[in-house]
Amino acid sequence: MAVVKLFGAWLSPYCYRVIWALKLKGIAYEYIEEDLSNKSPLLLQYNPIHKKIPVLLHDDKPICESTVILRYIDEIWPQNPLLPADPHERAVALFWIKFADDKSPLISKLFRTDGEEQQAVAKECFEMLEVLEEHALIGGKKFFGGDEINMVDIAFCSVAHWLGVIEDFAGLKIFEPHKFPRLNSWIQNFKSVPVIKDNLPDTDKMLALLKRRREMLLASKSS
Amino acid sequence: MAEEVVLLDFRPSPFGMRSRIALAEKGIKYEYKEEDLRNKSALLLQMNPVHKKIPVLIHNGKPVCESLIQVQYIDEVWHDKAPLLPSDPYQKATARFWADYVDKKIYDLGSRVWKTKGEEQATAKKEFIETLKLMEKELGDKPYFGGESLGYVDVAFIPFYSWFYAYEKCGNFSIEAECPKLIAWAKRCMQKESVAKSLPDQQKVYDFILEMKKRFGIE
């Protein structure tokens, strides 16, 4: 039987994308936690270009970049498909996944900046949410994937969980339910899905780590 | 039902070139519409309301946005001719990884080469060459990134070859001197009609860049 291993980091939304996909498909895997401040030789060997997690190892073959991994998983294990079968619908889904990929780094940038720079990032985040509210969730669907979550829902996990935690940490208010009613419904629905609910990083743990990281960041900036 | 294919595009755009090549490889007849990017058509704004960018592929009235997504769509719908993505899932993942790498690096670094000067440009040039050398390494001894025939990564990457002369002139360096194997690959691709017809002349791209520099007040 083929062995599946996942190199990840418990705080990374990109890592959770892969975990959820594997669980939705019922694939057994071994999880290896990476210390991102001290990356293992194995990780550097499997992802020499980007040196990042997540990395999926299937039959000793590494696959890097979370979206590439998700598409690979969906093709190798076709049960519980994560993308529409119709080519045009699939193209639309891929469009939104790319949008999520392009914009998600803004959320972690919120945490790494302050003052005017942070304000500018916050504005970009707000605009991203506006696009989702206006263009992506029309039609009153429960999820981006329709009645069930699919790869698009998974791709927007940063908006569903990480944004709120970083907002709390930084004392920002970008997402407000009354301003984004469709997005708000989606977030509630998404976080109620059992495989998501049972596999999300603990908020308190996240806040504690963010605080430590922020202190280290400021210390290195002033030194 | 007759297939109706329209491409909203802009001749110098490397992203537009990707879709042109894919359509040509598959022998698809389509209507090419050149957009004036300073006066975007109502059709473009309607078909790509989120980004308002070209290229946009419109197939029987339905839009597909983002060049690599268009290439994948074209490959899926017209799957009986000139396959661009491999059928093996692992090879497909590898191809997607490298096309993503091209997307992440080449355009931005190349832009920095022609838009900046001094130290900033020197840094951009260095990183740009490093990126090209990595692509060269990935190519290895294969005629194409796709193996024996033009594939997904070739289509993603070759459009930037039409910008090489502009990068070289603006940055005062020679890409061929640094990456001879890559230039050999590019010339091999240019022998294909689908590629040669889809890429603008390098001098024309350089003229376009000079105009951009003037317009944006870049030295």
Q: What is the pLDDT of residues B182-204, one digit of tens each?
A: 999 999 999 999 999 999 999 99
Residue A216 lies in a domain: yes
pLDDT (tens digit, 9 = 90+) per residue, A153-206? 999 999 999 999 999 999 999 999 999 999 999 999 999 999 999 999 999 999
Q: What is the pLDDT of residue A1?
A: 59
What is d(CA B52, CA B69) in angstroms, rounded to the nearest whole number? Answer: 16
Residue A137 C-alpha, separation from nearest chain B C-alpha, in angstroms: 13
Q: Residue A42 and residue A32: Cα distance in Å, rounded?
A: 11
Mean pLDDT of chain B, nearest integer: 96
pLDDT number for residue A221:
74
Q: Is the pLDDT of residue B11 over 60?
A: yes
Q: What is the pLDDT of residue A41?
A: 96
* Domain closes at, from A56, A76, A96: A76
Instruction: Indicate the residue of B62, B90, B92 with minimum beta-carbon distance to A88.
Output: B62
Is the pLDDT at B83 greater than 60? The verdict is yes
pLDDT over 70, % of chain A = 99
A135 and B50 within 8 Å at the Cβ level: the answer is yes
Q: Give phi and psi for A156, each to the nearest 5.
A: -90, 20
| SS3 of chain B | CCCCEEEEECCCCHHHHHHHHHHHHCCCCCEEEECCCCCCCHHHHHHCCCCCCCCEEEECCEEEECHHHHHHHHHHHCCCCCCCCCCCHHHHHHHHHHHHHHHHHHHHHHHHHHHCCHHHHHHHHHHHHHHHHHHHHHHCCCCECCECCCCHHHHHHHHHHHHHHHHHHHHCCCHHHHCHHHHHHHHHHHCCHHHHHHCCCHHHHHHHHHHHHHHCCCC
B93 in contact with A, Cβ within 8 Å: yes
Average pLDDT over every residue of B90-101: 97
Question: Is pLDDT of B93 > 90?
Answer: yes
Rounded to an integer, the average pLDDT of A51-70 is 97
E-only strand ranges, chain A? 4-8, 30-33, 55-58, 61-64
Same domain for A37 and A67? Answer: yes
The per-residue b/e assignment along A83-105, b for 16 or more CB within 10 angstroms, e otherwise, is: bbeebbebbbbbbbbbbbeebbe
Are A210 and A117 found together in one domain? yes
**Contact (Cβ atoms closer than 8 angstroms) between residue B157 and residue B179:** no
Residues of chain A neighbouring B101 (CB-CB closer than 8 A): 49
Whole-structure pTM value: 0.96
- Contact criterion met (CB < 8 Å) for A131 and B90: no
Domains of chain B: which residue ranges?
Answer: 5-78, 89-216
Q: How is residue B112 written in tokens?
A: 């920095």
Q: Is the CB of B26 inside 8 Å of chain A's CB atoms?
A: no
User: Does residue A138 belong to any structural domain of this protein?
Assistant: yes
Q: What is the pLDDT of residue B219?
A: 67
pLDDT of residue A216: 84
Point out the domain boundary residue: A76, A97, A114: A76
Assigned domain for A135 exists: yes
Question: With 0-12 CB in 10 A as exposed, 13-18 as middle and 19+ as buried, what is A171?
Answer: exposed
**Token duo for residue A153:** 């829902």
Question: What average pLDDT score do residues A14-34 get?
Answer: 97
Neighbour count for residue B189 (Cβ, 10 Å): 23
CATH code where residue A197 lies:
1.20.1050.10
| 3-state SS class at A199 | coil
Amino acid A213: pLDDT: 84
Q: What percent of chain B has pLDDT over 90?
A: 96
User: Is B59 an 8 Å CB contact of chain A?
Assistant: yes
For residue A198, tell me if it sits in a domain.
yes
Residues A96 and A72 in one domain: no
Alpha-carbon torsion B127, B131, B137, B143, what sign?
negative
What is the pLDDT of chain A when averaged over all its residues? 94
- Residue among A68, A91, A99 minimizing CB distance to B73: A91
Q: Considering only the beta carbons, identify the residue of B50, B89, B100 that sits closest to A72.
A: B89
ipTM: 0.96
A194 within a domain of the structure (yes/no): yes
pLDDT in tens, A66-85: 999 999 999 999 999 999 99
- In a shared domain, residues A100 and A173: yes
Same domain, A206 and A105: yes
Are A98 and B66 inside 8 Å of each other by CB? yes
Is the pLDDT at A23 greater than 80? The verdict is: yes
Among A23, A42, A76, give the residue marking a domain's end.
A76
Q: Which CATH architecture has domain B89-216?
A: Up-down Bundle (1.20)
Q: For testing the chain A interface, which of B3, B4, B26, B69 should be mutated: the one with the most A CBs within 10 Å?
A: B69
> Which residues in B lie closer than 8 A to residue A49 (C-beta atoms)?
101, 134
B88 CB within 8 Å of a chain A CB: no
Count chain A–chain B contacts defined by CB atoms under 8 A. 56
Superfamily of domain B5-78: Glutaredoxin (3.40.30.10)
Q: Which of A12, A61, A59, A4 is nearest to A34 (CA)?
A: A12
Picking from A104, A106, A105, the residue whose alpha carbon sits closest to that of residue A121 is A106
Judged by DSSP in three states, A4 sits in: strand
Q: What is the model's pLDDT at position B79?
A: 96
Verify that A96 and A181 share a domain, yes or no: yes
Contact, B155 vs B161, CB < 8 A? no
Range of the domain at A38: 4-76
Q: What is the CATH number of the domain that holds A70?
A: 3.40.30.10
Residues of chain B with Cβ-Cβ distance to A98 below 8 Å are 66, 69
pLDDT band at A218 (very low <50, low <70, confident <90, very high): confident
B64–A88 CB contact, under 8 Å: yes
Q: Considering just the CA atoms, what is the radius of gyration of chain A in Å?
A: 18
Q: Is B62 on the interface with A (CB under 8 A)?
A: yes
Co-location of A68 and A109 in the same domain: no
Tens digit of each residue's pLDDT (9 = 90 or more) over B116-139: 999 999 999 999 999 999 999 999
- Amino acid A141: pLDDT: 87
- Looking at the structure, do residues A153 and A102 belong to the same domain, yes or no? yes
Pairwise CA distance, residues A116 & A94, whole Å: 33
Are the beta carbons of A63 and B100 separated by less than 8 Å? Answer: no
Q: Within an 8 Å CB–CB cutoff, is residue A48 touching chain B?
A: no
Give dist(CA A86, CA A90) in Å, integer: 6
- Count of the separate structural domains present in chain A: 2
Q: Which of A106-115, A123-132, B89-98 has the lowest mean pLDDT?
A: A106-115
Judge: B92–A72 Cβ closer than 8 Å, yes or no. Answer: yes
CB contacts, 8 Å: B97 with chain A: 63-65, 68
On the question of pLDDT at A223 being above 70, the answer is no
Choose between A134 and A217: higher pLDDT. A134
User: In terms of domains, do A173 and A125 share one?
Assistant: yes
Interface of A with B in 89-148 (CB under 8 A): 90-92, 94-95, 98-99, 131, 135
Lowest mean pLDDT, pick from A81-85, A119-123, A212-216, B181-185: A212-216
C-alpha closest to that of B4 among B80, B77, B79: B77
